[in-house]
């Protein structure tokens, strides 16, 4: 993602058998509680592949791993492959879409990005600034939350139809204009067909151990009703790390969705000292922060 001044990115053995699902439902698990520890293990596993910018072996392995994890939870997993020319050459990118309750007409899109940045240009040590980042918070955190939510929805169908979209190529910009950023969401927005969700929520950089989520100004200007929906859900579940004060305006994967006519809001904590540095590692993130975001999303898809 790129900040904008002023106003207007496991588990082997976790497959669920039908018998296990029946037993869990019979035990009255309902929708259950979002498991922040489980989400954190997803974050750590992504980081174990190393930096994951497009064009690398780690990027390919992460894509395959992500698809495998999602196919444990739903039969409706689609890959949207496309080629882009970006700084450093030509790359194949892949958006991954996992759908739940596919026959429900009312649908919501929950999105994040799964790629990581190829340079650490904000690192305080100039020697590190051409180094790819691990992207524990910037890339892995949002992906981890949506993966854990997918496992919840495999146990019990959500109240509405839910489409989880894992965008590729969000973090490839290298200065200049906005054209180099959010490549996956731009491609997705150009190929919506007749898909028209009621709204979208994009999460990015939400694993920070010192999480503080402020209202993103571009979201509030374009889609105040979606912001109110998200912050209302946060209030209902007692998510104390959500604040109604405005934060920094950010160009992220919600922007192409809004431009395509989908009401969308971004949930992000950009006050993260390790942003775009080699220090964006799992020890800077926490299960509690992932659980906070997960509880809000759970309320959105199961609540009133």
**Dist CA 246 CA 241 (whole Å):** 14
Cα-trace Rg, the chain: 18
Task: Give me the domain span that covers residue 262.
Answer: 2-302
pLDDT given for residue 19 in this prediction: 41
**Residue in the structure block whose two tokens are 């691990």:** 134
Lowest mean pLDDT among 48-52, 175-179, 202-206, 219-223: 175-179
Number of domains in the chain: 1
User: Assign residue 261 a region: left if phi > 0, alpha if psi is -120 to 50, beta otherwise?
Assistant: left
Partners of 83 in the beta sheet?
92
Q: How many whole angstroms separate alpha carbon 66 and alpha carbon 86?
A: 23
Token pair 């429900």: residue: 104
- Residue 62 near residue 135 (C-beta atoms within 8 A): no
CB–CB of 40/48 below 8 Å? no
Question: Confidence band (pLDDT; 50, 70, 90) for 29?
Answer: very low
> Which CATH number do you get for residue 166?
3.40.630.10
Torsion of CA 137, 169, 193, 111, to 10 degrees: 0
Q: Six-digit token pair at 52?
A: 């994951």
Please determine, for residue 179, whether its predicted confidence score (pLDDT) is greater than 80: no
What is the pLDDT at residue 177? 73
- Interval 108-165: pLDDT, tens: 999 999 999 999 999 999 999 999 999 999 999 999 999 999 999 999 999 999 999 9
pLDDT tens figures, 117-127: 999 999 999 99
């Amino acid at each position: 993602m790129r900040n904008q001044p002023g106003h207007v990115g496991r588990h082997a053995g976790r497959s669920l058998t039908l018998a296990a699902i029946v037993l869990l439902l019979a035990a009255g698990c309902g929708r259950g509680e979002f498991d922040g520890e489980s989400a954190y293990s997803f974050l750590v596993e992504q980081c174990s592949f190393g930096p994951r910018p497009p064009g690398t072996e780690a990027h390919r392995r992460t894509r395959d791993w992500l698809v495998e994890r999602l196919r444990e939870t739903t039969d409706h997993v689609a890959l949207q492959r496309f080629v882009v020319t970006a700084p450093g050459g030509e790359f194949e990118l892949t958006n991954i879409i996992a759908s739940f309750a596919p026959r429900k007409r009312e649908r919501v899109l929950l999105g994040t990005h799964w790629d990581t940045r190829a340079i650490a240009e904000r690192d305080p040590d100039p020697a590190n600034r051409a180094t790819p980042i691990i992207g524990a918070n910037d890339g892995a955190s949002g992906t981890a939350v949506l993966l854990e939510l997918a496992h919840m929805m495999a146990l019990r169908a959500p109240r509405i139809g839910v489409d989880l979209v894992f965008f590729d190529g969000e973090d490839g910009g290298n200065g200049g204009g906005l054209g180099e950023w959010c490549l996956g969401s731009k491609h997705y927005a150009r190929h919506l067909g007749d898909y028209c969700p009621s709204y979208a929520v994009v999460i990015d950089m939400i694993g920070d151990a010192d999480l503080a989520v402020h209202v993103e100004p571009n979201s509030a200007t374009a889609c105040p009703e979606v912001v109110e929906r998200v912050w209302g859900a946060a209030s209902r579940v007692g998510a104390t790390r959500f604040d109604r004060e405005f934060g920094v305006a950010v160009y992220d994967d919600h922007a192409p969705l809004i431009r395509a006519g989908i009401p969308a809001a971004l949930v992000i904590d950009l006050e993260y000292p390790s942003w775009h540095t080699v220090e964006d590692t799992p020890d800077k993130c926490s299960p509690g922060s992932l659980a906070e975001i997960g509880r809000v999303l759970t309320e959105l898809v199961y609540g009133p």
